[in-house]
Every structure is written in structure tokens, then in C-alpha cells.
Amino acid sequence: MAKKFDNDKVGRRFVRTIAGAASGMSVATFDSEDDRGAMFVSGTNLRLGVEDVEAVSEIVKAGAVLVLQKEVPDEANVAAAAVMKRAGGMVVLNAAPARAPSDGLAALVDVVVVNAVEAEALAAVASVESLETALAAAQTLSKQYPVVVVTAGGEGVAFVARGGDEGATPAIKVNVGSTHGAGDEFIAYLRHKLRQVQRCRLPWLRRTNLPQFALASLSSIDGRDTVRLAW
């Protein structure tokens, strides 16, 4: 893996190797309707600790956007979020796998992003299969987080921000390519747009000047993780 990073010119200054331990991995699964699931083998993901966060704290700066997921120990996420908040940055939590974050982590999150399955689990709702139910789940979760984004696959994406700003945008309908990595791509593009407008703060969406077609494109590459992006 390290050799692959080097060949692709990906920096690994802060990558730590652990003798005798294996890297984490995720195996994608698909059902007859092409809905995606995943089996996780955590491996060294569970070895990420506060000391690793401290080692990279020197590069954290104001205006940065930190993306966290639930594949590493909570204490590492809390430490990373605390460093980012002290520096004046933004913390985005992609709550996957669908496990509720600790109170300590939740208190540091600016934006939480969940797909339909994760929204059902965290918001304790029966199903998220439409923009209306996605918006309802986002409204429930907004009691805990400043901004909530719920992706509903081919239906689109809904958001709610504290203070009453909310909305939903239908997905652009295109041919299904592959569902693998759909949520990761959604998060990557969302993080990119948030980084551009980080200083705007909340309500974040209407002040970003992010075109409706761009948001619709975002929704089209995630969820329940059904990808609807034509390459």
C-alpha cells in the first residue's frame, strides 16, 4: 500500500505502520435491486489514537474542513474534532457505519451527513425512501446537529439547518453506473464546496450560491448508496 501511495505521488508523511497488523478493508455487497451494503474488517483502523491526532495537529488551520467517519475509535474522532474546532475549522461527520456518535463527538460536529439507512437508524424513523421522509429525518436529527444532510439515493437530497433553513432537491436521473464508493464521492464533493464557503457559516446552503443542478448532481451519486452518475 505504501508503495502504491508513492507511485501515485500521494503524501504519506503521517501514515503509521504497525508490525504484524493488517490494514482495514470494506467488502461491498449488492442485492438483486442493486442496493449496496458493506462488510467491514476494521484492522488497524481500530489502532488510530489520540497520539496520531496530536502528530498532525500542527497542520490544522482556520478555514479547513475535517471529515470524520465512524470506522475509527471515538476517542480519535473526538480529539481530531477538538483540534479542528480550536483552529477555527469546520467538522463534518459522515456517520457511517450507522452508529450513534458519543455526546462528546456530537457536540463538536457542524454538519452531519447520512444516507437513507443511516438516517433510519440515527433518527429512529421507519423508512427513508422519498424526499419527504428524508426531510423528516433531517428535521429530527437537526435537534442534535447544526446542519443535517440526508441523501435518499435516486430520490435526491434533503437538508435542515438550525434556524429554519431547510429544503430538498430531486436527483438528476441518469443511467446507473456503479454503487461502489458513491457515498465517499458525495462526501468528497460536499467537503470541497464547504471548503470554498467555510467562512459563510449558517445557514450554509443558501449562502453558498451552490446551483440547484450541482446539488442535484451530488444527490445522484449517493444513497442508499445507489449511484446514478453517468461517466
Q: Is the dihedral of CA 39, 194, 155, 168 positive or negative?
A: positive
> What confidence tier does 17 reach under pLDDT thresholds 50, 70, 90?
confident
Average pLDDT, integer, range 57-69:
87
* Residue 223 pLDDT exceeds 60: no
**137 backbone dihedrals φ, ψ, rounded to 5°:** -65, -40
Q: 179-212, pLDDT tens digit by residue?
A: 677 778 888 888 887 877 665 444 444 443 333 3
State residue 60's pLDDT score.
Answer: 86
Average pLDDT over residues 22-38: 72
Residue 133 CB neighbour total at 10 angstroms: 21
- The pLDDT value recorded for residue 198 is 60
Place 108 in a pLDDT band, splitting at 50, 70 and 90: very high
Structure confidence at residue 112 as a pLDDT band (50, 70, 90): very high
pLDDT in tens, 123-177: 988 889 899 999 999 999 999 999 999 988 888 889 998 877 888 888 877 776 7
Specify the pLDDT at position 200: 47
- 114-137 pLDDT, tens digit per residue, is 998 899 999 988 889 899 999 999
Distance in angstroms (rounded) separating the CA atoms of residues 126 and 223 = 17
pLDDT value for 186: 84
Whether the link from the prior residue into 170 is cis, omega within 30° of 0, is no
Specify the pLDDT at position 216. 39
- pLDDT at residue 63 tops 50: yes
Q: What is the pLDDT of residue 220?
A: 39
- 71 DSSP 8-state letter: S
